Each structure stands twice: as structure tokens, then as C-alpha cells.
């Protein structure tokens, strides 16, 4: 089985590797192992102080965030304008804010519903 290692924070690199793996599979040549190298931007849980990383490592990880990197790439390619990107960002932020508001203002479910829609 072939294996490929890719920068998991580079959207286009991941796309290219995945596209090749899919084409290979569709030709009947089997599976491809894809290792997407990335980093954790937040701890393993809320309140994780991330003492296992230096401040420089955490800062470097944030610089490699795939979302702003891809936004910049799309603008450079001319596939997206900055005003359109800003509008998309604002619409997404508004949607998240509304979802958080709905969740925090909603009543807790009844205790007997704890296993509703849970499958194992």
C-alpha cells in the first residue's frame, strides 16, 4: 500500500494528494495511506494548559491555520475577493453566534432523554 505524507494545514496540498488517491482507487489499484501532518490549536480538553508545548510551538501552529492560509491563497489566485471573503466570514460568525445563543437559552433536556439518538 503506498503512503503519502502531506501538510495537513495546506488545503490545496491535501486536495491534490486526495485526488490522486481517489483516482488510483477508481482504477482498481487499491487504497492509499495519507498522513496529514497538522498541529493542535487547542488543548485536549477545555482548561488544558498545553504545558507539553512551548509558547513558540503554539504560536507557530496558529500561523499555520488552514483557514486564513486558504483565504489568502484564494484571494491571490483571484478566485475570491477580500470583500466577499469578509462577507462570508461575517455570515459564518453570525450563524455561530445565533446557534450559541439558541443553545444557551434552551432548556436542558429531560434526564430520561439522555440516551435518545445515541447509538453504540
| Its pTM surpasses 0.85 | no
Predicted confidence (pLDDT) per residue in 79-95, tens digit: 999 999 999 999 999 99
Has 40 been annotated as catalytic?
yes
Which of 44, 55, 108, 119 is flagged as catalytic? Answer: 44
Identified catalytic residue from 37, 42, 52, 89: 52
Distance of alpha carbon 15 from alpha carbon 24, whole angstroms: 14
Task: Determine whether 55 is an active site residue.
Answer: no
Please, what are the averages of pLDDT over each run of 10 residues along the chain (120 residues)?
96 97 98 95 88 91 93 96 97 98 95 90
Candidate list 15, 37, 40, 89, residue with the active-site label: 40
Amino acid at each position: 500500500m503506498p503512503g503519502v505524507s502531506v501538510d495537513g494545514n495546506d488545503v490545496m496540498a491535501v486536495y491534490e494528494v486526495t485526488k490522486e488517491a481517489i483516482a488510483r482507487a477508481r482504477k482498481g489499484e487499491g487504497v492509499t495511506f495519507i498522513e496529514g501532518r497538522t498541529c493542535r490549536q487547542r488543548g485536549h480538553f477545555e482548561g488544558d494548559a498545553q504545558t507539553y508545548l512551548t509558547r513558540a510551538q503554539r504560536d507557530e501552529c496558529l500561523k499555520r491555520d488552514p483557514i486564513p492560509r486558504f483565504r489568502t491563497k484564494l484571494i491571490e489566485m483571484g478566485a475570491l475577493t477580500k470583500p466577499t471573503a469578509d462577507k462570508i466570514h461575517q455570515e459564518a460568525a453570525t450563524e455561530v453566534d445565533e446557534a450559541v445563543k439558541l443553545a444557551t437559552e434552551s432548556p436542558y433536556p429531560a434526564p430520561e432523554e439522555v440516551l435518545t439518538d445515541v447509538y453504540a
